[in-house]
Amino acid sequence: MSKNEPEIWDEYRWEQFFRESDKRTDKYSQLLDEYMDHPDRDRIIAEEMGWTRLLDELEVESKDWIGEFDFNGYEEGEEWKRHTGHEPAEFDSFENFPLYQKAFSFAIDSIKMADEHLVDLDDESVRAFCRSIIVPSAKIAGGFSFGLEMESIGGNIANCKRGLIAANQMLNALYEIGEKEILDRELYLEFYGRAKEVRDELGIYIVELRERFRRGVS
């Protein structure tokens, strides 16, 4: 690499760099509560979070990725698109990205469901579910702002991996809620199925991003 060429970080270097991401997630949660019913909610949140440019703050903690998603069930490259039905390069903003839309819609519906059915319950599974539901959409959006260029795609992957950790935690918490029969069975199955879709599609998306990085394609 010449002196004039920027150093290309992989996902692990980006994870070391992300030292303030938990603070950003807290901010996202506060904004979501504040602007839940605002007609320009997504635009306001995007401006407040600074997702129109590369995220320049550091994340406090680097976590090992718990690989609970089975990547072996999918081929790399083009195969993932047949499962998710979208290609990130086709969208100019995270608000229009189908994976973000699915995760965000699930988060909104889960918050409303929790307010109606889980409020005031002193249960760790419920608390774990409520803590994790907004994280996947926040991390997908944050990752999308990094783009697909070689210089920054590692940051996209690292963000999405954090989202996947949260999605696994969300799914595990929901499973425990179902085992405890806290929710009506039909309602539980509906939300568990949707949570699994978010988790699985996010896992497949990470496979594609890694494949792009290996190919060196921006």
pLDDT, one tens digit per residue, over 77-90 is 455 455 554 567 77
Query: If pLDDT is split at 50, 70 and 90, which confidence band does 54 have?
Result: very low
Q: Residue ranges of the domains in the chain?
A: 11-215
Give the pLDDT score at 181.
Answer: 94
* Residue 28's pLDDT band (cuts 50, 70, 90): confident
CATH number for 11-215 (one of 1.20.1440.60, 2.130.10.10, 3.10.129.10, 1.10.4030.10): it is 1.20.1440.60
Name which residue leads in pLDDT, 55 or 92: 92
The confidence score (pLDDT) of residue 79 equals 52
Per-residue pLDDT band for 147 (boundaries 50, 70, 90) equals confident
Specify whether the CB–CB gap between 195 and 171 falls below 8 A: yes
The one-letter code for the residue type at 210 is R
Predicted local confidence at residue 25, as pLDDT: 64
Instruction: Answer left, alpha or beta for residue 50, where phi above 0 means left and psi between -120 and 50 means alpha.
Output: left
pLDDT tens per residue, range 157-181: 999 999 999 999 999 999 999 999 9
Do residues 100 and 137 make contact, with C-beta atoms less than 8 angstroms apart?
A: yes
Q: For residues 121 and 126, give the distance between their C-alpha atoms in angstroms, rounded to a whole number.
A: 7
Please check whether residue 109 is in contact with residue 116, taking contact to mean a CB–CB distance below 8 angstroms.
no
CA distance 203 to 84: 10
